[in-house]
Structure 1
Amino acid sequence: MQYQLSISGIHYDQIRKHLFPGDHLEAVAVALCGRLAGKGIHKLLVNDVVLIPYDECERSADFVVWKTDRIIPLLEKAAKHNYAILKIHSHPGGYEAFSSLDDDSDTRLFSSVFGWTDGDYPHGSSIMLPDGRIFGRVFFPNLKAEALNKICIAGDTIQVWDYSTKASGEAEIGRRTIQAFGEATYRLLSKCKVGIIGCSGTGSPVIEQLVRLSVGNLVLVDPDKVELKNLNRILNTKRADAEKGRHKVDVLKEAILEFGLGTDIEVFAKNIYEDLTCQRALAECDILIGCVDSVDGRDLINHLSTYYLIPYFDIGIKLEANGTGGVSKIVGTINYIQPGKSSLISRGLYDAEDLKAAGLFRMYPEQFPELVKNSYIKNINVSRPAVISVNMMLASYAVNELLNRVHPYKVDPPGEFAQSTIDLTEGCFIHQAEDRLDIDAFLISKVGLGDRKIFLDLVELSHLK
């Protein structure tokens, strides 16, 4: 079993500022966490944070004693909803282990926590070092502890600290990547799990690049089969694949395994709305990349990002042509979504009416034209022109933006590139900073909620088991 911790950039910054006020004394915070409880993985997902005031603590350079009165509301919520409690404190001197004082403190705290809560699920304790790195452990009802294997931060930058014993990729294969971005970034990529939703003209070049960057694990999702009209842009597809009606994800998996570069592949020839196993596999990912046109699909991925604290790259391309060679617009946009800040809907990429239309088209494709004709619903464009050179350019930009989030290399900080638009017809590049975009007032309350009785609290998914 793998035990992991995920924190949004908002909560991480809040915690780090509190734990290191500049006086070189230990400080402490406590978080309420949702959970992802999988078969081989258990994630703690920070939902809310209580910063224990300095004047309620006895603080020194190597210990902190604090009153627990402030966390009673968190304990009540944890008991009611089966949430986790996470204690996080600082080691301002940089000591990279739990001390004997920490062991005694945690034993007393979690004995009390398990007295408040029922169930066998773990709670957590972690330490932040002066450079911002975090390590930790989880406790069980018998007060035995196991180390956290991975800790992920989904903020302006993507930080991943992997403490598992899994070996990195083959160094010789990654030599040129290491020369460009360093050994640490190469190791990070080799231990990352990335979900790609949509494996066609944009998704396939994204997948190709991630494999050749030595990303360790990929989850590929696309319900469609290869057709002759796809062969102009889907990498690694052949006429024979179209003639046999093979699923896109199966063709891509076969090609990736033949590369022999060490990437593990899990595929789902499913619509993201129609398979709970697929949805939960995506929830276990460290990064999500959406290459889909449908607004309901994009909105579902945005919810996954929020509930499970996963950074999300959305790639959208608009190519307007008259069908006879006249091109009026070629525009592509990469949106980087981090939990608790702006969303695709708050950025104006679609609205409630668009979601309604997309949902009806997905559920009632045959009746949809009649609904549009009678003005019950907005029309949607389901067949658009697509050209490999445009798809590959936007795919490459998105992958480079991912690299900039894990290994910042641009002159401007990553937060300046929350939304990047490339307009080929106008010959311009426009980017928007995260702090200039509207926060999603609805989704901010869903950050880190994790597993729910109905997946993502979406009624349309209530039938999935």
Structure 2
Amino acid sequence: MMPGATLSLTAVHHAQLQTHLFPGDGEEAAAVLVCSRVPGKRLRLLVRDVVLVAHEACRKRTEHSLTWPATFIEQAIDLGERESLSLVLLHSHPSGYRDFSRTDDDSDRAIMPCIFQAFGDLHGSAVMTPDGTVFARLYTHQGDQIPVDLVSVASADLHFWWWKERHRGAKRPMAFTSQMTSDLSRLTACVIGLSGTGSPMAEQACRLGFGRVIAIDHDRVEIKNLNRIINTTLADAQAKRPKVAVFAERAKLYREEPFFEAVEANVMTRSAVLAAAQSDVLFCCVDTHRGRMIADRLAAAFLLPLFDVGVAIPTRQTEDGLAIAEVTGRIDYVYPGGSSLGDRGVYTPATLQAEALAETDPQAHRERVKAGYIEGSPEQAPSVITLNMRAASACMMEFIARAFPYRQVSNAGYARTRFMLAEGFEEATAEGEFIAKRSGLLAAGAAEPLLGLPFLGLEENTR
């Protein structure tokens, strides 16, 4: 069953809260989460700010109860009232009790009406246990209670804490098992770009058992890319059918219930961004710098883990003509608050500007991008499906390694992985080797302009 309500935190906020809520004295502590929302039909809260309740300000702190002054809630109201954000009152259970107690229920009944009287239409409460697990519930203005089905934190590892499995704590299913499939059945994957690397990426997402798969692409099938886009046929190319429509037609045969959403739109449009915002994990498989910039902003604004994949075949000039210098693939994993694709130089202001200028000659731009597999060669139908599938598989394995850890070393050492097939070499770059710049978009959610980009504020655009 797909989650009806979710709450997401950055790794920094989660670590800050765990340190504050468990100071080592075995007594409860508290904080207030100020949360934005994801636009669209999905009820998803994003922790934007945290108000820590000073331990010494509490009138009473014991292992099972806590009394703290309303001034900290007032601080949170000041932060959230202008944008009508949501407040979630968080406290610790040092004993490890994995449910709301009667004391918690009584406290919510007394405090929630006061918060609603101040502002807003959705607030809640949450508990953290010593292992870092968080579970939560929300309240409407009418007093209806909504369990938060999923609390997520993206760091070097991906943490998904399910309301119905809160008693299992931080223990995660073993990778490659039916229990992993069960967890995936409640998550939504978004694949941006459904071409060379995107089609095998979407295929894996469908076959692995993601409960919902969203695919975004505005392009159409052509004869020259039949040799690298799986599930496409000659008839599809002759009819110039949309890539997402072709994939959706095949995907619906995989399961009895509908699960695949085809979004025929450029990722640079509002409709595409709003669709991607409904996901739990992003897979970026585009071949443009601006597409990757949008994916970067999506990850920050909606607190989503992002996996970006790219391939290249650089060439060298020899006495006999052009020859392969290397056959490479790159997978970058980005989490909100860590280093971005921009921080890592995957795209730069110069490359973004060059692409924008290329719009004056769109046809030349499209040809330049599509011919980019083999550098220095005008090959229009490169035989790269094996390379694409190798890279797409490595990208999906990075997701599995973080959501259902199987590595014998820390995932923090694999912010970027690169393989070089000609040289027979693979390397990894740790998150700490990149310099992360602070993003003003973190947990921006539905704030306009969307993703901080004015052109996405338009109801319709044709980029």
Residue 187 in structure 1 maps to residue 182 in structure 2: yes
**Aligned residue-pair number:** 437
What is the TM-score normalised by the length of structure 1?
A: 0.88
Partner of 1:458: 453
Higher alpha-carbon deviation: 329-338 or 126-135? 126-135
What is the TM-score normalised by the length of structure 2?
A: 0.88
Q: Is the 8 A contact 1:214 1:263 kept in 2?
A: no
Q: Is the 8 A contact 1:302 1:344 kept in 2?
A: yes
**1:462, CA displacement in angstroms?**
2.6
Partner of 2:49: 48
Which residue identity is paired with 1:111?
A: P
Matches of 1:184 and 1:82 in 2, distance apart? 39
Pairing 1:208-287 to 2, within 5 Å after superposition: 208-260=203-255, 264-274=259-269, 276-287=270-281
Matches of 2:304 and 2:266 in 1, distance apart? 20
**1:451, CA displacement in angstroms?**
0.3
Partner of 1:95: 97
| Structure 1 counterpart SS, 2:354 | helix
**1:74, CA displacement in angstroms?**
2.4
Matches of 2:261 and 2:363 in 1, distance apart? 34
- CA pair 425-270 structure 1, distance change in 2 beyond 3 A: same
| Structure 2 counterpart SS, 1:81 | coil
**1:358, CA displacement in angstroms?**
2.0
**1:9, CA displacement in angstroms?**
1.5
| Structure 1 counterpart SS, 2:260 | strand
**1:181, CA displacement in angstroms?**
3.1
- Among residues 360, 365, 373, which one is paired with 2:361 in the alignment? 365
Pairing 1:363-442 to 2, within 5 Å after superposition: 363-366=359-362, 381-385=369-373, 386=382, 387-441=384-438
Higher alpha-carbon deviation: 295-304 or 66-75? 66-75
- Among residues 260, 285, 288, which one is paired with 1:291 in the alignment? 285
Matches of 1:153 and 1:95 in 2, distance apart? 21
Partner of 1:201: 196
| Structure 2 counterpart SS, 1:194 | strand
Gap regions ≥5 residues in structure 1: 166-177, 370-378
Matches of 2:109 and 2:124 in 1, distance apart? 11
- CA pair 127-413 structure 1, distance change in 2 beyond 3 A: same
Which residue identity is paired with 2:413?
A: E
**1:408, CA displacement in angstroms?**
0.9
Matches of 2:105 and 2:444 in 1, distance apart? 28
| Structure 2 counterpart SS, 1:240 | helix
Q: Percent identity?
A: 33
Matches of 2:416 and 2:453 in 1, distance apart? 26
Residue 334 in structure 1 maps to residue 335 in structure 2: no
| Structure 2 counterpart SS, 1:258 | coil
Which residue identity is paired with 1:364?
A: T
**1:128, CA displacement in angstroms?**
1.5
**1:238, CA displacement in angstroms?**
1.2
- Among residues 20, 23, 33, which one is paired with 1:21 in the alignment? 23
Which residue identity is paired with 1:24?
A: G
Gap regions ≥5 residues in structure 2: 166-172, 374-381
- CA pair 389-220 structure 1, distance change in 2 beyond 3 A: same
Matches of 1:179 and 1:144 in 2, distance apart? 36
**1:22, CA displacement in angstroms?**
3.1
Residue 315 in structure 1 maps to residue 309 in structure 2: yes
**1:431, CA displacement in angstroms?**
0.9
**1:162, CA displacement in angstroms?**
3.4
Map Cα deviations across residues 99-156 of structure 1 (whole Å, 9 max, x no partner): 2211222233322322322x43x11211112332221111222333221122221111
| Structure 1 counterpart SS, 2:314 | strand
**1:368, CA displacement in angstroms?**
7.6
Q: Is the 8 A contact 1:216 1:262 kept in 2?
A: no
Map Cα deviations across residues 194-250 of structure 1 (whole Å, 9 max, x no partner): 000011110111111222211111000111111111111111111111111111111
Matches of 2:63 and 2:193 in 1, distance apart? 51
Residue 139 in structure 1 maps to residue 121 in structure 2: no
Matches of 1:9 and 1:164 in 2, distance apart? 23
Residue 32 in structure 1 maps to residue 34 in structure 2: yes
- CA pair 278-381 structure 1, distance change in 2 beyond 3 A: closer
- Among residues 68, 76, 79, which one is paired with 1:77 in the alignment? 79
Which residue identity is paired with 2:448?
A: K
Matches of 2:290 and 2:75 in 1, distance apart? 36
Q: Is the 8 A contact 1:201 1:233 kept in 2?
A: yes
**1:259, CA displacement in angstroms?**
2.6
Pairing 1:100-115 to 2, within 5 Å after superposition: 100-115=102-117
